[in-house]
Amino acid sequence: MHIVLPRDLSLDGHLVDRALGYLTVTSSIAFVTALGVMLASLILHRARAGRTWAQHTHGNRRRDRALTFAVALILFVGIDVTLALRANRELDAHFWRYPDQDPRALHVEVTGRQWAWSFRTAGPDGRFGTADDVVTLNELDVPVGRPVYLKLRSRDVVHSLYLPSFRFKIDAIPGSTTRAWFQAVAPGRSELGCAQHCGIGHTRMRGDLVAREHADYEAWLARAETESRLRFDARAGSAADAWDWETGR
């Protein structure tokens, strides 16, 4: 999968890669087999010595229908049903196991708008919408080895936060709050973007995901908090994008 996707920097991204890999391999086998059958039919049933016309059948005999049904069933169960069952198991065990009870989880409020992302963390007081909130534009800084728990809202149209290096994609939908989580396993800078076409400036909704080791993250956070306090202006409504983490409102 490394040919088409950037290096996986996340805890659970390999599960996504594995599902994609399974789909690619099984559909490729089915595709090549179907081509082989068609090619063999052309050669075996062609007109040749002692036979003026190519042999053909309408495929409407009982046996033909039974064979078609059996092949379709095998493909459907082997590819689709298997993939759906496996994906569902992994969603339950990993992706939908939100770190609600994990005190180490970093909570981030994400706001999508035409055409930028803003990321808000609560700061030392643990409350959103206060002077020590750290708000960044088109850059999300996260610590390595801790769950990053995101809740997303949109100010206008549907956007979709996409972190290719984390195999992470989640929609931000006006009027509702969506959530998702991931964990970085290695430090580094990678790309983030909007995966939902959202208007003329859609391509401007890109930025950086910066994963930092513990000490580096703490140093960055201390700097960012100081700057946030200096910049905070209650009259300017700098906290207008913040909402209540629990209720999403």
Q: Which is nearer to Cu ion, 180 or 194 (CB)?
A: 194
50-79 burial: b if 16+ Cβ within 10 Å, else e: eeeeeeeeeeeeeeeeeeeeeeeeebeeeb
Does residue 161 bind Cu ion (CB under 5 A)?
no
Judging by beta carbons within 10 Å of its beta carbon (0-12, 13-18, 19+), is residue 183 exposed, middle or buried?
Answer: buried
- Least separation in angstroms between residue 152's CB and Cu ion is 11
Least distance to Cu ion from the beta carbon of 205, Å? 4
For Cu ion, the closer of residues 115 and 128 by Cβ is 115
Q: Is the peptide bond before 181 cis (omega within 30 degrees of 0)?
A: no
Interface of this chain with Cu ion, residues 201 to 230, rule: CB under 5 A: 205
Rounded Cα distance between 222 and 77, Å, is: 53
Per rule CB under 5 A, count of chain residues that contact Cu ion = 4
Q: How far is the CB of 198 from Cu ion (least distance, A)?
A: 3
Tell me how far, at minimum, the Cβ of 171 lies from Cu ion, in Å. 10
CA 37 – CA 40 distance, rounded (Å):
5
Verify binding: residue 198, Cu ion, rule CB under 5 A: yes
Q: Which of residues 100-159 bind Cu ion (CB under 5 A)?
A: 159
Q: Which residues bind Cu ion (CB under 5 A)?
A: 159, 194, 198, 205
